[in-house]
Amino acid sequence: MKRAGFDSRWLPVFLLMPQLAIILVFFYWPAWQALQSSFYLEDPFGFGSTFVGFENYLRLFRSSEYLRTAGFTVVFTVLVTFFALSIALLLAVKADKVLHGARTYRTLLMWVYAVAPPVAGFITLIVFNQRWGPLTEFFALFGWDFRVRLDYTDTAIAMVIASVWKQIPVNFIFFLSGLQSIPRAVREAALIDNRSASARFWTVTFPLLAPTGFFLLIINTTYALFDTFGLIDTILRNNPGDNPITLVYKVYVDGFRGQDIGGSSAQSVVLMVLVLALTIFQFRMVDRRIHYT
Amino acid sequence: MADITHTAPTEDRQARRINWGAVSDHAVLIAGALFMMAPLVMLIQMSTIPDAEIMQTGPSLEIGNQFWPNVKKALLGAMSFSGEDTGLSMFRSSMILGLGFAVGKIVISMLAAYAIVYFRLRFATFAFWLIFTTLLLPLEVRIVPSYEVTQKLGLLNTYGGLIIPLIASATATFFFRQFFLSVPDELVEAARIDGAGPVKFFIDILVPLSQTMIAAIFIIMFVFGWNQYLWPTMITTDESKYTLVQGIKQITQSLEGTHIPEFGRSNLLAVLAVLPPVAVVIFFQRWFVKGLTESDK
Amino acid sequence: MAKLTLSQVGKTYAAGSQAAVSGVDIDIADGEFIVLVGPSGCGKSTLLRMVAGLETVTEGEIRIGDRLVNHVDPADRDIAMVFQNYALYPHMTVRGNMAYGLKNRGESRQAINDRVEQAARMLELTPYLDRKPRALSGGQRQRVAMGRAIVREPAAFLFDEPLSNLDAKLRVTMRGEIRKLQRRLGTTSLYVTHDQLEAMTLADRLVVLNGGKVEQIGAPLEVYNNPASTFVAAFIGSPAMNLLDAQVEGGTLMVEGHRLAQVARDAGPVTVGLRPEDLVLSTSGLPLRIDYVEELGAQRIIHGFIGDQPAAVADGSPDAPLSDIVHVTAARADIHLFDTTTGKRMDLPAETQIAEATA
């Protein structure tokens, strides 16, 4: 709030109205419905529903399929986050260092930000084409018969590679801007204090980038959990079969295809709680971040 | 004298020495750039070769002569029997989605942020939390009930149903709030002394002042809207309203089957699907980076 | 042009919280230049902003001319304000910045243009009229902020620390310019600053504020010569006045067991105020143990201790050699006495009179 704000009574209400209306209708109403129907078992043909308490949730945690999906989601998220962050950090550190062509490198490394996840999935299908896909051929060099969509692990690896490729730019941009915001004087002080470039990186640069890293950790986790949907759906060509899927994908599959509204809603609520926890964690980190800088 | 004769060869040696550090930096960056760029180059290369040949050999370094015929097919040919989902029609729908989403989001969130920051409002805190709670839950986790609500409102297969529910999150509102808070208080005070009311201040001062921010948000929102996949897939079943990103599904499915897969056309449609957002990000790089990195604060 | 009257003005932000400003009475004559001065948090800016209409007045009355303006919108108060950070509209040209208020008032284009041009000439801004603020130097921006105030031809100018963003040299120049301009226009002005030197040089009258209350109102020299309290005494004047704990014993003012002067006062503790520039080195008087010396060229400031109380002396003959301990005295008229508990001034002549009357 500004210290000398306007006093008008109806204008702010009028200004807030569109946003509030949209949020109430398209956010709170659906969120409430998800919460509500997670306690009901709906007849698949739409003939009413019965209150079942926590049955939908219990069913979830008893379902080996759900637990397998949850397990894969965790592994997938960890791998994507780790590789996307470390590759981007390496590239950002180098891009921050070079004197020539910095702009060109930056552009070449960031454009993928704008690529839609399904397109990344489409590209994955081509590079892993069974007959001549360049990456299939690459793995064949090591005697690995790489079979996307036919082999669980191979599909998972392809998904991770594609998701990392798609996520590198965001991390790169943030790391680079984080590096560039380190004051020159600090770098010069480090230069005087320490001979070894790698020691300088790990003792000065890296800790100063930690706040950015924490923030990106959350961003990448959310990305791996939710934004990879289009990528996964394209790779699976809309037909998961025995292939690995993530939790969000399962919400969609169960709710839309399986018509298991109650189960799907319970899954939504579980995800909501997960995101909530992540966000609270993030706010904590943002708080701490202020102390860093 | 002795000193000079001794130092000269040393300098010489230093000048000739290759800076291996810089070389390795460039090597890493070039490898990274190749990793990011190769798929795009591959898609385009494949589209220059006749489909029947590609089906056998896959991507190579060869450049064929099928590029323009494939461009024509991609833009004008339809994916389905209805013939309504041509590259051009999907491009149009994507534009409507991208622009409509970006503009709608900016207008609505600027107004809301203005109300929250610049007015003494009794329920301001409540409105703030009501709006900012939406940051917590992405559309994907409440996708099924959102679909049901949209259906109940009769908004399936409309641009309204496509765009408005996507606006129901506070990312941009949050961003504008942060920005407005960073505008010096004295500016609104000076404007009040200069006789500007709330509407005049908004139009004469705040909006022009926010130009860079608006541009930055616009780029991010345009890319976000254009790249939507799940929501359009659910809301739009009318093929004449398919977007390019949504069409990727049809494209991949068309690559399966008994006939010769049309790699040329498919690849170019995929390229078309990334072209506008990529162009925006590259051409307005400075604003884009600013918008992206400052939106988290 | 108008007089400005504040009567019993007070401001409380939240019910039950301490008042930011309370019981302020100031009568400002037409054309007078009043400076509100005090340390940060003393309520001076709040007071100014209440006059501007940017803060609500929770107590008392503010009148501009004869009009009660407590509930009048800032734009309708017929005032103009110059802000510390200038608050120029960054996307408008200098001309646009100056014209904006007039445009909103619906003045004719011709009139606006004439007034802007005239103000620009006065402030030597004519060559910059079509530039944006960011293309100007700090001093130029400051002048644009002044210009924006001038073109409104207001009843009063309000200045909120307008010079504190400038470097020291420019500040001195602009100080002079503001004073000249105000004289020339004859517009009633209320000026807020925390810089006592700025306050002294600009003001017709000073208002010294402390903790939201007025400590003293008066012409600069009057405040300097007769500070109403230890607070004012320490705040006005540089280096600051020495305030020493002292005793009156049998009509003699004693500091740390050394005789300073004869006073007609009852025995007991007092606070004695001695300006560094009023102290003179001599062979007898209070012994000052020298700690360190600041050489300023024309004079030197000798810092040291009388007993264990810190004190400073401004010595006008910087070439004379100093021993470790020097003795200082002050003329009778230069000795200020304050009540130890309240910090209020005990006027010497009045004190004598009272002493005589009660005797």
Average pLDDT score over chain A: 88
Domains contained in chain C, number:
2
- The answer on pLDDT for C221 being more than 50 is yes
Nearest by CB to residue A31, choosing from B56, B142, B185, is B142
Kindly indicate the confidence band of residue C172, based on its pLDDT and cuts at 50, 70 and 90.
very high
Q: State the alpha helices, DSSP H only, in C6-76.
A: 44-52
Nearest by CB to residue B22, choosing from A34, A98, A169, is A98
C305 touches chain B (CB under 8 A): no
Nearest by CB to residue B138, choosing from A91, A226, A265, is A226
Residue of B nearest to A230 (CA): B229
Residue A116 to residue B274, Cβ atoms within 8 A: yes
Residues of A in contact with C49 (CB under 8 A): 4
The C-alpha of C54 sits at a distance from chain A's nearest C-alpha, in angstroms, of: 6
**Dist. CA C36–CA C230, nearest whole Å:** 18
Instruction: Output the pLDDT for position A292.
Output: 45
Residues of B in contact with A268 (CB under 8 A): 141-145
Question: Strand, helix or coil at B285?
Answer: helix
Q: Where are the domains of chain B?
A: 87-294
**Dist. CA C266–CA C251, nearest whole Å:** 7
**Based on the number of CB atoms within 10 Å of its own CB, is A284 exposed (0-12), middle (13-18) or buried (19 or more)?**
exposed
Instruction: Output the pLDDT for position B33.
Output: 95
Residue A87 to residue B270, Cβ atoms within 8 A: no
Nearest by CB to residue B195, choosing from C49, C86, C101, is C101
Q: Chains touching chain B at 3 or more Cβ pairs under 8 angstroms?
A: A, C
The C-alpha of C211 sits at a distance from chain A's nearest C-alpha, in angstroms, of: 20
Q: Are C227 and C233 in contact (CB under 8 A)?
A: yes
- The answer on pLDDT for C2 being more than 90 is no
**Dist. CA B152–CA A226, nearest whole Å:** 25
Residues of C in contact with A4 (CB under 8 A): 49, 54-55
Claim to verify: residue C188 and residue C288 sit in the same structural domain? no
Residue C101 to residue B208, Cβ atoms within 8 A: no
Could you tell me how many CB contacts below 8 A there are between chain B and chain C? Answer: 60
Q: Would C278 be classed as within a structural domain? A: yes
Kindly indicate the confidence band of residue A280, based on its pLDDT and cuts at 50, 70 and 90.
confident
pLDDT in tens, A28-42: 999 888 888 889 887
Residue of A nearest to C13 (CA): A3
Claim to verify: residue C120 and residue C35 sit in the same structural domain? yes
Cβ neighbors of A89 (< 8 A, separation 6 or more) are: A171, A175, A209, A213
Class of domain B87-294: mainly alpha
Residues of C in contact with A3 (CB under 8 A): 54-55
**Which of residues C228, C249, C264 is at a domain's end?**
C228
Residue A4 to residue B267, Cβ atoms within 8 A: no
Claim to verify: residue C244 and residue C147 sit in the same structural domain? no
Q: Would C233 be classed as within a structural domain? A: no
Residue of A nearest to C56 (CA): A4
Residues of B in contact with C53 (CB under 8 A): 192-193
Q: Which homologous superfamily is A55-292 in? A: MetI-like (1.10.3720.10)
Residue B278 to residue A114, Cβ atoms within 8 A: yes
The C-alpha of B204 sits at a distance from chain C's nearest C-alpha, in angstroms, of: 9
How far lies C272's CA from each of A63, B259, C307, C308, C338, in Å? Answer: 87, 107, 14, 15, 6
The C-alpha of C55 sits at a distance from chain A's nearest C-alpha, in angstroms, of: 7
Instruction: For B76-101, give one letter per residue: b (16+ CB within 10 A) or e.
Output: ebebeeeeebbbebbbebbbbbbbbb
Claim to verify: residue C246 and residue C337 sit in the same structural domain? yes
User: Residue C37: how many CA atoms within 13 Å on its side-chain side?
Assistant: 31
pTM: 0.86
Kindly indicate the confidence band of residue B257, based on its pLDDT and cuts at 50, 70 and 90.
low
Query: Containing domain of residue C340, as a range?
Result: 239-358
- The answer on pLDDT for B1 being more than 50 is no
Nearest by CB to residue A15, choosing from B32, B111, B145, is B111
Instruction: Output the pLDDT for position C326.
Output: 93
Claim to verify: residue C87 and residue C169 sit in the same structural domain? yes
Instruction: Output the pLDDT for position B14.
Output: 52
Q: Would C234 be classed as within a structural domain? A: no
Kindly indicate the confidence band of residue B229, based on its pLDDT and cuts at 50, 70 and 90.
very high
CATH number of the CATH domain containing C275: 2.40.50.140
% pLDDT > 90, chain A: 47
Claim to verify: residue C105 and residue C207 sit in the same structural domain? yes
Instruction: Output the pLDDT for position B135.
Output: 79
Instruction: Residue window 153-192, chain B: list those with CB within 8 Å of chain C.
Output: 184, 186-187, 189-192
Q: Would C80 be classed as within a structural domain? A: yes
Instruction: Output the pLDDT for position C120.
Output: 95
Residues of A in contact with B229 (CB under 8 A): 116-118, 229-230, 233
**Which of residues C228, C251, C282 is at a domain's end?**
C228
Q: Are B131 and B173 in contact (CB under 8 A)?
A: yes
Question: Strand, helix or coil at A21?
Answer: helix
The string of DSSP letters for C128-182 reads: GTTS-GGGS-HHHHHHHHHHHHHHT--SEEEEESTTTTS-HHHHHHHHHHHHHHH
Kindly indicate the confidence band of residue B296, based on its pLDDT and cuts at 50, 70 and 90.
low
Region A145-170 average pLDDT = 94
Claim to verify: residue C48 and residue C149 sit in the same structural domain? yes
Residue A5 to residue B234, Cβ atoms within 8 A: no
Q: Chains touching chain A at 3 or more Cβ pairs under 8 angstroms?
A: B, C
B211 touches chain C (CB under 8 A): yes
The C-alpha of A10 sits at a distance from chain C's nearest C-alpha, in angstroms, of: 18
Instruction: Output the pLDDT for position A36.
Output: 87
Nearest by CB to residue C81, choosing from B193, B204, B211, is B193
* Least confident stretch, A132-136, B124-128, B226-230, C190-194: B124-128
The residue ranking higher by pLDDT, B166 or B258, is B166
Claim to verify: residue C43 and residue C155 sit in the same structural domain? yes
- The two three-digit tokens of residue C152, written as one number: 């409104």
Residue B189 to residue C54, Cβ atoms within 8 A: yes
Region C321-332 average pLDDT = 90
